[in-house]
Amino acid sequence: MNSLFPKTLIPSTSLSSSTRLTLTPNSLRHFKLHLPRLMSSDSSHRLFQLKLDPLTGNSEWVVIEDNDDLPDCSKEPLLATTSYLDMLNDSFRNKAFRSGIERTVTKPRHVLDIGAGTGLLSMMAARAMGLNGTVTACESYLPMAKLMRKVLHRNSMGKAISLINKRSDELEVGVDIPSRADVLVSEILDSELLGEGLIPTLQHAHDKLLVENPLTVPFRAVTYGQLVESTYLWKLHDLSGIEAKVSDGIHLVPTGSDSIIHVKSRQYPMHCDAIREEIKPVQVQVIDDGNIHAVVSWWVLQLDREGTVFYSTAPRWINSPANIGYRDWCDHWKQCVWFFRGKGMSVSQGEEVLLEATHTETSVSYNLNVQVPKTDTRQHDHNIRDFQLLLSPERIAIYGDSKWRSSVLAAVRNALQGRVNPLCVVVDDSIFLTLLAANLSKTSHVLSLFPGLREKGAQYLENVVKANSFSMDRVEVREKRKPCLTLHDTHGKKVDMLIGEPYYYANEGMLPWQNLRFWKDRTLLDPILSEDALIMPCKGILKACAMSLPDLWSSRCCLGDVEGFAHSIVNTTLGACGELPAPKEGPFLPFSIWQCGEIKELSEIFTILEFDFSKPISSCHGTAQVKFIEGGTCHGFVLWVDWIMDTDNSIVISTGPEHRYWKQGVKLLSKPVAVGINGCNSNSEYGSTIVEALFEPSSSELILKHAFL
């Protein structure tokens, strides 16, 4: 049970039929059509895209018109945070689709490409037909369609391919396309396979846009599942079980209400190779005792009808057949993890386990059954309250982490010492801080803003109030969002404590410094703070480290030719790093560094900026020079925020790479740089670097400059 390396109980290639789903384009059942969340105007070819200001939480609609001037010179490239660039850098994927198309499209035909992106598959099909057939490319996302026009023009394919900026279910034969298509090429896939609406899109195409028995690339998709035992995965979803091991008096999940906080029942994309040393496969025929915590799933595409071209998203610890092989690290298609509720299913040698997989039009779900005597008492708790709060797996793991809890508890306890009848405002979405402040001081009044949770936060507190030994007459949740609090909202009393983790509900994927929204909120509340008001955290420290990130850099680097088609024109728009024309550079991107393939720290961890929350928000500037402590190739800088929770600087919550529940910000270099210890190994190596940073709150931007010495 304590083995770190995956222990194979039965070879993973011998999975039963209950652990796989097979989808072929010609064997689809009818499903209700899936409509994504878009706001557009077909008559004017205009798209409205939602833009969020991370420091205020406010959002606005940005209008994108249909013209040829794509705003790729902006400081925040429109498509930089999408997976297009990573996908185009996946050479294994590109070669597989090229081979599949060339084996399928062997003579002039009418080819329909749904979800055409940059037009790569359309151009492959046109080339395979010697430019003699007909290719119709359908791309509904206006910015991508505009970019595709440029790619087609650069490759002299504008006349060979007809581009239509519509959803495929809006196309009509005889209106948009001349006839039903003979061949369908498409790549509307996500890590789960079905999440981008694959089934309803293909069903509509077969019903309305394709001939009988059309050729398709890909031809077939098969989803595989592997039952696993993993303490790490268990911590991502079973807060009740984890909290039972903590004795701090705070009960986020009271006894008997195991499901009041849990993750949404869905598949979660994850780089499962990063936890290969921490999981133990559990097979359908159990031959060893253990606990089943989750199912890891992946899919395999068969690109051609004959079954000679494949693409797999399997983790490397799965024994894939030689004709499928393994791809390089990439981020656009990961494996998926489905959590089983509670502490996991305990299984014993000799038990028969049945894994049932079912799918809707957009998702795959799993159910685990074990053949046990009817008198067996191992059942999930069915005493579930009507109210349930859904949190992300990482947030549940943080709330269950004993070190994190003890640090926050100590900070709040120290802050409350000597304060009588304090008014404490929880400015973010922290239910944990709300419970702490109410529990540790029997005279405090707690006002929680819950800007993201809102009424869900209030409902949660009402369900856990008794278990945490306080009454709701001392806790208030502001349910209506207002620009800022006034003394009227606080009943004439000034705020004694303003606290946050900081954590903003549903914003875990943002860059670390975008949690400086806490500083912005503190500034707005400045008029109602008492003279000796305590702000927690007291400071934020922007930390950084120069790192070798070869896999991540390769997935985000500039494109040249992709399977013979020029793509350099997309680099700036897609936020590439590499040979960009000055002064353009790649954007900051949020990543869980520990999941980014091969990584290596090359410098000491250093401080760039300090944010003093005792003062209103302002611009910050900092410079640091750091020496390299390891030789290697530097691909970029990894940045994060350490939150200083007390005025003595003794309690620090770090969100750095060694803490796996937070994402860091990554700034990739335009070109990898060889570095060494003091630069002594070679004249071509650099021994140190100077890093300069500027944080500008008016634009929510962090600007980073560097020079190697």
196 counts as catalytic? yes
Among candidates 502, 560, 582, which has minimal Cα distance to 536? Answer: 502
Nearest to 573 by CA among 186, 125, 141, 95: 141
Q: What is the DSSP string of 49-61?
A: EEEE-TTT--EEE
Question: Other CB atoms closer than 10 Å to residue 373's CB: what's the count?
Answer: 6
Main-chain phi, psi angles of 109, to 5 degrees: -145, 180
Burial of 224 per CB tally in 10 Å (0-12, 13-18, 19+): buried
- DSSP letter assigned to residue 206: I
Place of tokens 């994504």: 36
Residue of 139, 187, 229, 508 marked active site? 187
**Burial (CB count <10 Å: 0-12, 13-18, 19+), residue 403:** exposed
**DSSP single-letter state for residue 34:** P
- Pairing relation of β-strands 294-302 and 310-312? antiparallel
Residue 448, beta-bridge partner list = 426, 477
Tokens of 109: 């035909």
Catalytic residue among 76, 102, 196, 278: 196
- Strand segments, DSSP code E, in 68-148 are 110-114, 134-138
Picking from 652, 666, 541, the residue whose alpha carbon sits closest to that of residue 592 is 666
Is 508 a catalytic site residue? no
Q: Could you tell me the strand order of the sheet in which 688-696 lies?
A: 620-627, 688-696, 701-708
Instruction: Name every residue whose Cβ is closer than 8 Å to that of residue 123 and which is 6 or more positions away in sequence.
Output: 152, 155, 157, 161, 565
DSSP for 140-183, please give it. --HHHHHHHHHHHHHTT-TTTEEEE-S-GGG--BTTTBSS-EEE
HSE-up (13 A, CA, CB side) for residue 73: 4
State the catalytic residues. 187, 196
